[in-house]
Each structure stands twice: as structure tokens, then as C-alpha cells.
């Protein structure tokens, strides 16, 4: 048995000395330490005594009551009190049934008013009646005020709830926007980095292109000047030579240099701008577009200096070239005689 | 031996009594209500154990607890209620050894009652009964109007009618039947104490 399992039956058994000793000891302790239990026990005892007095106690309980409960003078006193009290209650109920049965005066206005009219002095009676009336009017007014205030409070509560809800929604939206902004800032930052990188690369390429164009222009000017210095040479031989400057193919540039060969050109002279290297000598091979056929092969060539760069000058008959794409493959010869391909000079021929 | 004698002859001083009341109150003053409640619980306990002198044993218990409190300065091992119960149990065991157990049978009671009745004149008995009713009436009048109405109605009727009456009463007071019974019980305890005082 634990503290939660007491009920009318085992409380009655305890009061009648019919509970096993171990359980009785638990109840003994609870009767001191647990106010709730003490209250229930006291109520159960009064019920038991009342049942006995009114003749409702039967069987084993009646037997135990008479043999155990009535053994104590104090308990017999309780029985006596119950007997008298029941008689008194019955008498009271017979004398004033309405006053005591229907509604406690503490709570009922009708009862208060009816009690007022039980007073025998008319002056006081009317005075009290007037006071009661004033209180009644006051009560009605207070009731109305109470209802009004209640309504206002509930309205305020509703508005407050709505504001709280709105605030909560706004907070939620703010969080979403902040998160979105943070994402966008991250993405923007990455894009900006990439863009900067691309711009940097582009600037480098443009710079390089400008340098090369400038160099090409310079060489072209030099070539023209040289041509002007020896204006009759081809004519003396009855030959015309088309001269061009080629730069090495830039990886990924996609731009193809064009060589426009006028009619009646007998030979083509090309100046190949070399990338920095340490080779002692070079060989150049002219290949067709697919690279499977060698159209012309140079002998061992030495490079010349042109400004900061080195150049190779090659020449071959113009008849080798049609309107097509060709490539000059430059190889370097090492000191040991080994051949290493350095770069390609693809170009488009326009006739 | 001297120590045991000193304990036996120990009497509570005013200071010790106030210390005892404070301890029972556990820091929340009850104006002596906790003391009276503990007295009542002790008396009921010894009475349920069929002890012949429950009031004396209750006094003895309270005395021992107060003495222990005086000796130790404080008792923190148990709550006051639990400590009083433990002490009461010892007192009860001692009373058993001292053959203090009541053990009064109904036959004895009836015999005594019968003997008393035989010796009491019928008019005297009626007077006592009338006196009791008078006291009850006086004590009931002292109750608050709501308590008076409730207690009278609570005990009105028999069997089924009584049960229905209580159910209706509980509903009108907006409480459960169980809560009503506890409330009625408290009012009746007050009345019982008042009538006891009235009868002397």
C-alpha cells in the first residue's frame, strides 16, 4: 500500500481496527505527516459514526464498530455527539427549511433580503431595505462596469495578441531577409573575385597583344624601310618577294595571322619572332593544314636580334602556297645535336 | 540513573514551550494552531490504539519532543510532524510494556453504561440531553451563517436522500462532494470542540 491508495473502504477498516498491522502503521504515520490524509480520515470517521447512529451500518463493519470502536470513551463521546447533532440538524431543517437548505446567506441576495424582513423593528427594517436597494443598484452598476472592463480587457488582449503575432511575423521575415542578404553578399563576393580575375587576365592579354602589335608594326616599318633602301633588287632579278612577320601562335587566342600574297609574287620571306630560348641554331619546316605533309624544309639557321627579341628569317617559293592554312614549325638544335620543337606559326594564306 | 530521573522530572519552561511552538510552525507562525492540531492528532492516534489515557500519552509525547528540542537546540533530522509520530510510537510501545493498553471491550462498556444508567435517574438523563442540545444550538449560532447552513443541510436526510442532498449541496457551492465532506468535517470539529467546552 502506498500513500495514494487510501479510500473509504480501507480508511473505515483502519478506524475499525480491521486493517493489517503493516498497513495500519502506514496510516498511523500519514495521520501525522499528511494533512490531506488526516482530513480524509476525520471525514471518514464522522461518516462511519453517522452511519452507525442512523442505523445504516451493517454486517462486519457493524460488528467491528461495536467491538472495537465503541471500546474507547472518547469515541463513544463522538457517537453521542453525532446522535445529538443529527437530532439537532433534523430539528433545524424542520424549523427553517428554506433558510438553511436552499442558499447560504453569504452568497444569495434573496436570502439577505428575506433575512432583513425577519427583523421586527420597522424603522430599521426599512433602513436596511433601503441600504439593500442601494447595494443592489451599486451591484448592478458594478456588474455592468465589470462586464465593460472585461470586454475592454479582452479587446486589448486580442489587439495585443495580434500585435505580438504581427511582430513575430516581422521578426521572421527580417531573419529570412538577413539570411537572403548574407547569401547574396557571399555570391556577389565570389562573382566579384571571379570578375576581377577575368579582368586581370584580359588586361594582361590586351597588354601582350598591344606589345606584339606594336612590335609587328615596328618590324613592318623596318621592312618597308629596307625595301625602300633596295627598291630595284627584285626587279633586277625579275622577281617579287612578299615579306611578312609572324608571331608564335598564342595558346587559346584563336586568332590566325593572315598572309596576303599578291599575284606574281615569286617568293615569300617570313620573319619569325622567337620566344626567348638558348638554342644555338634552328630548323624550320613548312607544313600543310593537317600537318601530314612537309612542303618545305630549311637548312640550319641562326637567329638575329631584333630589339629585345630574336627573329629567324626564312624564305621559300610563293608557288608552294595556295589559299589555305599552313604552319611553320620551328625546332631548336641543342649543343649535342638534338632537335626539339619550339613553337608553331600557323597562318592563313590569301591569294 | 540520575540522568533518567532528571528526564522523568523534567518540566517544560515557558522558554522551552515557545521554542517548541516555533519549531512546530517551521518558520511560519500559526498562533498555536499547529500545536493544537498536533495535540488532537496525538490524542486520536493513542485513542485509535485503544490506549486507556490518550490525553496523558499525548502530553507525554509532546513533553519528550520539547525536552529533546531543549537538549539538542534543534531537530533537523525529520519534519516536526514525522518526529512527533516517531516519538508517539515509542511512547505507545512503552505504554504497551506498562500494560497501559486500553483493551476495553464493549461488554465492559455496556456494563458500565448499564450500571450508570441504572444509577442515573431518567430525569437526569433527559436534562443532560437537553443541555447537550442547548450547547449545540449555542455553538451553531456562533458559526458563520454560511457554515451553519451548510453543516445543517449536510447532515440532513437518510441513506439515498442524504446522498442526493449532499450532491445537490456540493453542486450549489460549486465544489466536489469530497471537498464538501472535508469542509463539513472541519465545521463539525469546531462544533464538537465548542460543545465539549460548553458541557464542561
Backbone angles phi, psi at A338, to 5 degrees: -75, 150
pLDDT digits (tens, 9 = 90+) for B11-24: 778 888 888 899 99
Q: How confident is the model at residue A263 (pLDDT cuts 50, 70, 90)?
A: confident
Fold of the domain built from segment(s) A230-350: Immunoglobulin-like (2.60.40)
- Which of A32, A81, A104 has the CB atom closest to B192's CB atom? A81
Asked if A76's CB is within 8 angstroms of B106's CB, the reply is no
CA A225 to chain centre: 73
Cα gap B30→B25, rounded to integer Å:
6
Placement of cell 538577413 in the chain: A178
Contacts of A107 in chain B (CB under 8 A): 146
- Which of B41, B88, B155 has the CB atom closest to A89's CB atom? B155
| Alpha-carbon torsion (A137, A140, A142, A148), positive or negative | negative
Contacts of A106 in chain B (CB under 8 A): 144-146
For testing the chain B interface, which of A38, A88, A103 should be mutated: the one with the most B CBs within 10 Å? A88
Contact A14, A27 (CB under 8 A): yes
- A75 to chain B nearest CA, in Å? 8
Residues 87-106 of A with CB under 8 A from B: 87-90, 92-93, 99-101, 103-106
Lowest mean pLDDT among A336-340, B32-36, B68-72, B154-158: B154-158
Contacts of A81 in chain B (CB under 8 A): 132, 192, 195
- ipTM, two decimals, is 0.78
- Which of A32, A54, A76 has the CB atom closest to B81's CB atom? A32
Angle at A166 between CA A165 and CA A171, to 5 degrees: 100
Contacts of B129 in chain A (CB under 8 A): 84
Asked if B132's CB is within 8 angstroms of A29's CB, the reply is no
- B111 to chain A nearest CA, in Å? 12
- Which of B54, B109, B189 has the CB atom closest to A71's CB atom? B109
The yes-or-no verdict on residue A100 having pLDDT over 90 is no
The set of cell numbers assigned to A74 is 472518547
Q: What number of other Cβ atoms are within 10 A of residue B51's Cβ?
A: 23
The DSSP call for residue A69 is G
CA B9 to chain centre: 26
Contacts of B24 in chain A (CB under 8 A): none
Specify the domain boundaries for CATH 2.60.40.10 within chain A: 230-350
Cα gap B66→B84, rounded to integer Å:
10
Query: What pLDDT was estimated at residue B195?
Result: 87
Q: What is the mean pLDDT of chain A?
A: 82
Q: Which residue of B has its CA nearest to A112?
A: B145
pLDDT digits (tens, 9 = 90+) for B78-102: 899 999 999 999 999 999 887 544 4
pLDDT digits (tens, 9 = 90+) for A248-258: 877 666 678 88
pLDDT digits (tens, 9 = 90+) for A146-168: 888 878 888 878 888 888 888 88
A51 touching chain B per CB within 8 A = no
pLDDT digits (tens, 9 = 90+) for A103-128: 344 444 444 544 554 444 556 667 77
Counting every residue, how long is chain B? Answer: 200
- C-alpha to C-alpha distances, B181 to A27, A49, A56, B3, B177, nearest whole angstrom: 20, 14, 18, 49, 6
Question: Residue A1's closest CA among A24, A17, A18?
Answer: A24
- Which of A32, A92, A104 has the CB atom closest to B146's CB atom? A104
A109 touching chain B per CB within 8 A = no
- C-alpha to C-alpha distances, A65 to A16, A18, A76, B103, nearest whole angstrom: 6, 10, 11, 14
Asked if A84's CB is within 8 angstroms of B136's CB, the reply is yes
Asked if A39's CB is within 8 angstroms of B155's CB, the reply is no
Of residues A88 and B43, more confidence is placed in: B43
Asked if B145's CB is within 8 angstroms of A47's CB, the reply is no
- C-alpha to C-alpha distances, A245 to A121, A267, A315, A349, nearest whole angstrom: 141, 14, 12, 13
Contacts of B177 in chain A (CB under 8 A): none
Asked if A106's CB is within 8 angstroms of B144's CB, the reply is yes
- Which of A17, A68, A106 has the CB atom closest to B146's CB atom? A106
Question: Residue A291's closest CA among A342, A319, A325?
Answer: A325
- Which of B102, B145, B149 has the CB atom closest to A72's CB atom? B102
pLDDT digits (tens, 9 = 90+) for A190-222: 888 888 888 888 888 888 888 888 887 887 787
Alpha helix stretches (DSSP H) within B98-176 = 106-119, 122-142, 145-154, 159-173
The yes-or-no verdict on residue A278 having pLDDT over 60 is yes
Question: Residue A39's closest CA among B44, B80, B9, B165?
Answer: B44
A83 touching chain B per CB within 8 A = no
Amino acid at each position: 500500500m502506498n500513500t495514494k491508495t487510501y479510500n473509504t473502504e480501507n480508511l473505515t477498516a483502519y478506524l475499525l481496527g480491521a486493517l493489517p498491522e503493516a498497513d495500519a502503521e502506514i496510516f498511523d504515520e500519514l495521520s501525522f505527516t499528511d494533512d490531506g490524509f488526516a482530513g480524509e480520515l476525520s471525514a471518514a470517521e464522522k461518516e462511519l459514526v453517522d452511519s452507525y447512529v442512523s442505523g445504516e451500518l451493517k454486517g462486519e463493519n457493524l460488528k467491528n464498530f461495536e467491538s472495537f470502536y465503541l471500546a474507547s470513551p472518547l469515541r463513544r463521546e463522538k457517537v453521542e455527539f453525532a446522535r445529538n447533532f443529527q437530532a439537532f440538524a433534523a430539528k433545524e431543517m424542520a424549523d427553517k427549511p428554506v433558510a438553511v437548505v436552499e442558499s447560504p446567506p453569504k452568497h444569495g441576495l434573496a436570502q439577505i433580503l428575506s433575512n432583513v424582513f425577519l427583523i421586527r423593528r420597522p424603522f430599521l427594517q426599512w433602513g436596511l431595505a433601503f441600504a439593500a436597494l442601494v447595494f443592489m443598484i451599486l451591484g448592478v452598476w458594478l456588474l455592468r462596469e465589470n462586464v465593460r472592463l472585461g470586454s475592454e480587457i479582452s479587446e486589448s488582449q486580442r489587439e495585443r495578441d495580434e500585435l505580438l503575432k504581427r511582430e513575430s511575423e516581422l521578426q521572421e521575415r527580417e531573419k529570412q531577409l538577413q539570411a537572403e542578404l548574407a547569401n547574396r553578399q557571399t555570391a556577389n563576393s565570389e562573382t566579384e573575385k571571379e570578375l576581377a580575375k577575368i579582368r586581370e587576365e584580359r588586361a594582361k592579354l590586351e597588354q601582350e597583344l598591344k606589345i606584339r602589335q606594336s612590335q609587328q608594326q615596328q618590324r613592318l616599318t623596318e621592312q618597308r624601310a629596307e625595301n625602300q633602301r633596295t627598291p630595284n633588287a627584285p626587279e633586277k632579278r625579275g622577281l617579287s618577294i612578299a615579306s611578312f612577320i609572324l608571331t608564335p601562335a598564342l595558346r587559346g587566342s584563336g586568332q590566325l595571322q593572315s598572309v596576303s600574297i599578291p599575284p606574281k609574287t615569286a617568293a615569300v620571306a617570313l620573319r619569325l619572332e622567337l620566344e626567348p630560348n638558348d638554342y644555338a641554331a634552328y630548323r624550320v619546316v613548312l607544313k600543310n593544314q593537317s600537318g601530314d605533309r612537309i612542303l618545305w624544309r630549311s637548312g640550319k639557321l641562326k637567329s638575329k636580334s631584333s630589339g629585345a627579341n630574336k627573329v629567324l628569317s626564312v624564305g621559300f617559293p610563293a608557288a608552294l602556297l595556295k589559299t589555305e592554312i599552313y604552319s611553320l614549325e620551328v625546332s631548336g638544335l641543342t649543343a649535342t645535336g638534338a632537335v626539339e620543337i619550339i613553337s608553331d606559326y600557323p597562318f592563313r594564306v590569301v591569294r | 540513573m540520575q540522568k533518567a530521573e532528571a528526564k522523568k522530572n523534567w518540566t517544560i519552561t515557558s522558554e522551552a514551550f515557545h521554542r517548541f511552538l516555533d519549531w512546530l510552525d517551521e518558520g511560519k507562525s500559526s498562533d498555536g494552531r499547529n500545536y493544537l492540531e498536533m495535540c488532537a492528532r496525538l490524542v486520536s492516534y493513542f485513542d485509535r490504539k485503544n490506549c486507556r489515557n490518550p490525553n496523558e500519552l499525548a502530553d507525554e509525547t509532546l513533553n519528550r519532543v520539547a525536552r529533546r528540542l531543549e537538549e539538542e537546540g534543534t531537530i533537523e533530522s525529520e519534519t516536526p510532524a514525522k518526529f512527533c509520530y516517531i516519538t508517539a510510537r515509542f511512547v505507545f510501545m512503552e505504554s504497551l510494556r506498562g500494560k497501559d493498553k486500553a483493551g476495553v471491550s464493549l461488554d465492559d462498556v455496556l456494563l458500565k453504561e448499564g450500571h450508570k444508567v441504572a444509577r442515573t435517574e431518567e430525569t437526569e438523563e433527559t436534562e443532560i440531553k437537553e443541555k447537550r442540545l442547548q450547547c449545540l444550538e449555542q455553538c451553531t449560532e456562533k458559526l458563520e451563517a454560511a457554515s451553519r447552513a451548510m453543516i445543517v443541510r449536510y447532515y440532513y436526510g437518510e441513506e439515498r436522500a442524504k446522498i442526493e442532498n449532499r450532491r445537490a449541496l456540493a453542486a450549489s457551492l460549486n465544489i466536489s462532494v469530497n471537498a464538501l465532506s472535508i469542509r463539513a468535517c472541519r465545521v463539525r470539529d469546531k462544533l464538537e470542540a465548542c460543545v465539549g467546552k460548553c458541557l464542561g
